[in-house]
Amino acid sequence: MQENPRPAGSSRPDSAGQPGASDASDTAGGSTGPADRPYIYANDVFKIFKVADLEVVALRGLDLKVEKGEIVAIIGSSGSGKSTLLNILAGYDTPSAGTIYVGDYDMLNMTSKEVVEYRRNEVGFVWQQTARNLFPYLSAIENVELPMMLAGRGSAHRRKRATDLLALVGLGGRMNHKPEHLSGGEQQRVAIAVALANEPPLLLADEPTGELDDETGAEILELLNHLNVDTGTTIVVVTHDPAISASVGRAIAIRDGKTSTEIRRVVEGQQQIGGEAVGVEEFLLVDTSGRVQIPREMIDELNLGERLRVEIVDGRVTLRDIDADDAEKK
């Protein structure tokens, strides 16, 4: 096998090292050019699945911005489109419409060669199903070495990096255990080490704590936070558990295939786990067309109907149900 199958100057015209070499396709996102574009930039993304004659709209106008080096949680109930988004970010699936970039990669316009290159160099992925992440007949260290072997790295490099990574995820003493002799939490730690083996700038984790008990799940999140700080890897972690927003600095809620609110944990000093939380703030996200999603609880609490009166009162935008408004005036 070739020692380095992906030399820096790859055949892709706008690959890393030549930022903005060609960006003619970035029109849908308006004025956001490659220079000021965040690392992950999704604008008005749609994903429609066709099942027989039925169309399922999994993402409907989703927006997302994540800066390089950030850790972000995506939260939302089952069926809200979290996995669809993550699969698109991982290069496993393509959007039906919209704009989505990760670094210099245009996720809507990649050749199959670029997709392979993207998956190999740019992203590491951790699945919810602990068993799906690891080969059962390989030891922890062999599992971590495998992606490096496939990338053509030499054996000395592989062994050293796998050893370092397993120590980093707290499994230095269990390197020769096979998955069946590791707990669920330990298996997810190995899975994270596997995902980081080829030093991807982006780590994606789809409900990595879904099969774990609360305490073990919290430890995995703490590990992701530490890895984010220690290695500078950008991390997007998906969960259906709203409590996760208490353990990452920034959590974005998806409702019905659209990012709706953002929750920022306000802590003293660093926005990381372990810091003393002084509060949690939730913001409504406004898309480029001015659309917002009013949280369901608020609609129910105020019994809001289909038509609202929008007014600016004392510099604030107010929304009132017109029927309630008329009833009040009588």
The answer to whether residue 84 forms part of the interface with Mg ion (CB under 5 A) is: no
Distance CA 319, CA 286 (A): 15
φ and ψ of 243, to 5 deg? -65, -20
Reported residue count of the chain is: 330
Farthest CA pair distance, the chain:
82
Q: Which is nearer to Mg ion, 83 or 121 (CB)?
A: 83
The answer to whether residue 55 forms part of the interface with ligand ADP (CB under 6 A) is: no
Among 15, 43, 80, 83, binds Mg ion (CB under 5 A): 83
Q: Which is nearer to Mg ion, 83 or 143 (CB)?
A: 83
Dihedral Cα 11, 12, 16, 20, nearest 10 deg: 130
- Binding residues for ligand ADP, how many (CB under 6 A)? 12
CB atoms within 10 A of CB 24: 6
What value, to the nearest 5°, has the Cα angle with vertex 187 and ends 182 and 192?
A: 150
Among 12, 63, 64, 82, binds ligand ADP (CB under 6 A): 82
Among 56, 97, 266, 322, binds ligand ADP (CB under 6 A): 56
The minimum distance between CB 135 and ligand ADP, in angstroms, equals 25
Interacting partner of 188 out of ligand ADP, Mg ion, none (Cβ under 5 to 8 A depending on kind)? none
The answer to whether residue 81 forms part of the interface with ligand ADP (CB under 6 A) is: yes
CB 122 within 8 A of CB 102: yes
CB atoms within 10 A of CB 298: 11
The answer to whether residue 247 forms part of the interface with Mg ion (CB under 5 A) is: no
Listed ranges 49-57, 214-222, 296-304, 315-323: which one lies at the site for ligand ADP (CB under 6 A): 49-57
The answer to whether residue 43 forms part of the interface with Mg ion (CB under 5 A) is: no
Q: Which is nearer to ligand ADP, 168 or 248 (CB)?
A: 248
φ and ψ of 46, to 5 deg? -115, 140
SS3 22: coil
Listed ranges 81-89, 137-145, 245-253, 266-274: which one lies at the site for Mg ion (CB under 5 A): 81-89
* H or E element at residue 263: strand 258-267
Distance CA 58, CA 47 (A): 5
Give residues 187-246 in contact with Mg ion (rule: CB under 5 A): none
Among 78, 109, 112, 289, binds ligand ADP (CB under 6 A): 78
CB 259 within 8 A of CB 85: no
Listed ranges 7-15, 78-86, 110-118, 148-156: which one lies at the site for ligand ADP (CB under 6 A): 78-86
Half-sphere exposure of 156 toward its Cβ, with a 13 Å CA cutoff?
A: 1
Q: Which is nearer to Mg ion, 83 or 139 (CB)?
A: 83
Q: Which residues bind ligand ADP (CB under 6 A)?
A: 49, 51, 56, 58, 76, 78-84
